[in-house]
Structure 1
């Protein structure tokens, strides 16, 4: 049906229909939705109920809206949709695997944030980790440079707790942790950290996320994706296996707790 035909049958203005179809309307009022469902002969009660539930949820902001000034919202959106996440981290433990005490120490290293902002940032980071606890979590492949494992962040007790948390997370079926040892020498990821997100629909290209103290960047070109896929694969091949990495983490925890 054309917009004019739908408008004629439902009494909904053509302008409103256009906004709905172009996703320019944040919500669809229940009476409007019912008129459209009736016109399109959607008679199955569960389907109608589901459509109304979607209409309600469309007006709700995600949890990250509370922390929109503290993290890039687009990153959170992409992470929520991803079926697989791959990351290389050179300096610190990746944010999705940080403990509250470790995250607090990282944010305090800036030395310009007050306690209130630091607390907000830690809360936001912990909330972001919820994607790993959902019913169908993404596959998470993590390469952590040995420097990040050995670097004393906070205190020995903070580091010990953090590394024990890594061991716990590594036991999950969807998470593999690789430690890149100093003995690997120069490698393809020497220029810094990055995040690769893959999505369940094969028509959706992977997205590369880069971050610096002053800006963030998303890369989506085929050539860029191939480059970072090759970088990750090459760096992964230089790393300890997950089993070797777990042994290394155990050794490091023992050193910290002696």
Structure 2
């Protein structure tokens, strides 16, 4: 079974947070809890850190009984979280494209997505032709079937922007990404027009960071900050580099990237000015074609 609305990882993190909250409310350490249950301490730690993907109903009941959780509705809700944590998302079909830790796992339940891209258009806003040119240019593979799957996986990600409840996407895009002609002038024109069209959606705010802004707080690279509706679901930062993918979850890391994004927005053109600026770049492409 595949889920398009539920993230197993987000549900697992929420369950872990609830169980940790109940343990702390009882004033017990991890080792004390493990001792009361006849378990080893690492077992409790892995459950509370979201490292145990499958928490059996029996083990969950033992924890809830120990913590004194008697309210039927709460117990049922926690069992439901444990069950949903085992349901694979649609992205499991594209493990070859996304890897073991997939960004869509978090995007699917995000209430807000804030992203900064310096060199290419954000994946959630790419056209199929532009995405194909990006993958070909990256040189990771020249196999047509593999590239087609990568493009298909990227297009699948974009469904979150059109289904209720849709997350709010804030995208700050460097001017360099808009002027870099990827896939040829026709592909680039279509991509820029798509950005203008998407900027008209109620749940999309798009800002261009112009060259004239000079130095800015995100010169170190791209990032995506994901936030969630449930207060138990902590925000997370996604950073993709040439060598690996990192998910940052510490409060100070979240705060730092939130501050960076806020400052980027201050350097960038407004959401009203940006589509006009993009149209000017499109006009420049058309003028070059006539010369």
| Same fold? TM cut 0.5 | yes
Change (3 A) 1:249 1:21: farther
Kindly indicate whether residue 56 of structure 2 is the aligned counterpart of residue 19 of structure 1: yes
Query: Which residue among 136, 139, 149 is the counterpart of 1:120?
Result: 149
Gap change, CA 1:208 and 1:22, over 3 Å in 2: farther
TM (norm. structure 2) is 0.69
Q: How many residues align?
A: 216
Change (3 A) 1:111 1:74: closer
Q: Name the counterpart of 1:11.
A: none
1:62 matched to 2:86: no
**Alignment partner, residue 257 of structure 1:** 286
Q: 203, 213, 216: which one pairs with 1:184?
A: 213
1:218 aligns with 2:255: no
Report matched runs for 1:101-250 at 5 Å.
Answer: 101-113=129-141, 114-250=143-279
* Structure 2 CA distance for partners of 1:22 and 1:253, relative to 1, 3 Å: farther
Unpaired segments ≥5 residues, structure 2: 1-54, 61-70, 74-78
**Alpha-carbon distance change, 191 to 20 in structure 1, aligned in 2, over 3 angstroms:** same
Partner Cα distance (1:112, 1:155) in 2: 20
- List, as ranges, runs of 4+ consecutive aligned residues in structure 1 with deviation greater than 3 Å: 57-61
Deviations 1:180-239 (A, max 9, x none): 011111110110000000000122221000011221111111111111011000011000
Query: Residue 108 of structure 2 corresponds to which residue in structure 1?
Result: 80
Give the CA RMSD over aligned residues. Answer: 2.4
Task: Give the TM-score normalised by structure 1.
Answer: 0.78
Residues 223 and 59 of structure 1: CA distance in aligned 2, closer, same or farther (over 3 Å): closer
Which residue of structure 2 aligns with residue 71 of structure 1?
A: 98
Q: Which has the larger radius of gyration?
A: 1
Report the alpha carbon displacement of residue 21 of structure 1 after superposing the two structures with TM: 5.0
Distance 1:189 1:58 in 2: 34
1:90-115: CA deviation from partner (whole Å, max 9, x where unpaired)? 00000000000000000001234111
